[in-house]
Amino acid sequence: MKAGKHVYVEKPLSASIQEGKELLATAKKNGLLIGAAPDTFLGAGLQTCRTLIEKGAIGQPVAATAFMLKRGPENWHPNPAFFYQFGGGPMYDMGPYYLTAFISLMGPVKRVTASAGIPFLERTIMTGEDAGKKIPVQTPTHISGNVEFKSGAIGTIITSFNVLATQTPFIEIYGTEGIDFCSGSEHVCWAGKA
């Protein structure tokens, strides 16, 4: 922005509210646009889910779940330390995609509550030149949140770098008449009386 350029990012705009306010003030001062939103909600799977929800295929949405449950990036990334510093972690890394999908599919958010934890205070890098090196964990690696939408529907989101394996779906929307399952390019809609 200091160079007079508009800014668009797909991850969180900032790691703190104060930093976000400063970025917005800089954009306003320089007459620039600044924004943040993942573009994945424009993909075929989520757009199909949205169309079906808007057409009433699952009735009125009443609840939603989103899960990003993985092993930590120290298992595959050769330099994973930044994932475990302030501004990192599964919610900052992958949560924006899931939260953007929630808002696109379910509408505006009224309230958010969450709990977060750090089950492991250090991680061991498993690949690359630094394999075997220990890194400290300085940000939550397991976050569980509840999202209350203005429509009255309730969503649950869990992001974690502490899960070895899971069979949970990525995103499901539960309606009064059926269920909509969304996952990247995949889409399944089951409509029928409960």
Assign 193 to helix, strand or coil. coil
For residues 18 and 97, membership in a common domain is answered with no
For residues 88 and 162, membership in a common domain is answered with yes
For residues 32 and 124, membership in a common domain is answered with no
**pLDDT, tens digit, 9 for 90 and up, residues 107-125:** 999 999 999 999 999 999 9
**pLDDT, tens digit, 9 for 90 and up, residues 65-109:** 999 999 999 999 999 999 999 999 999 999 999 999 999 999 999
pTM of the full structure: 0.85
For residues 56 and 104, membership in a common domain is answered with yes
DSSP string covering 161-177, please? SB-S-----SEEEEESS
For residues 46 and 29, membership in a common domain is answered with no
Helices (H) and strands (E) in the chain, counts: 4, 11
The DSSP bridge pattern shows strands 34-36 and 61-69 to be unpaired
As for how many domains the chain has, the answer is 2
For residues 109 and 166, membership in a common domain is answered with yes
For residues 130 and 151, membership in a common domain is answered with yes
Q: Which domain holds residue 23?
A: 1-36
For residues 186 and 92, membership in a common domain is answered with yes
For residues 83 and 144, membership in a common domain is answered with yes
Quote helix, strand, coil % in the chain, to nearest 5: 25, 35, 40
Instruction: Give me the CATH number covering residue 105.
Output: 3.30.360.10
Average pLDDT over residues 135-159: 97
For residues 8 and 104, membership in a common domain is answered with no
For residues 3 and 46, membership in a common domain is answered with no
For residues 32 and 43, membership in a common domain is answered with no
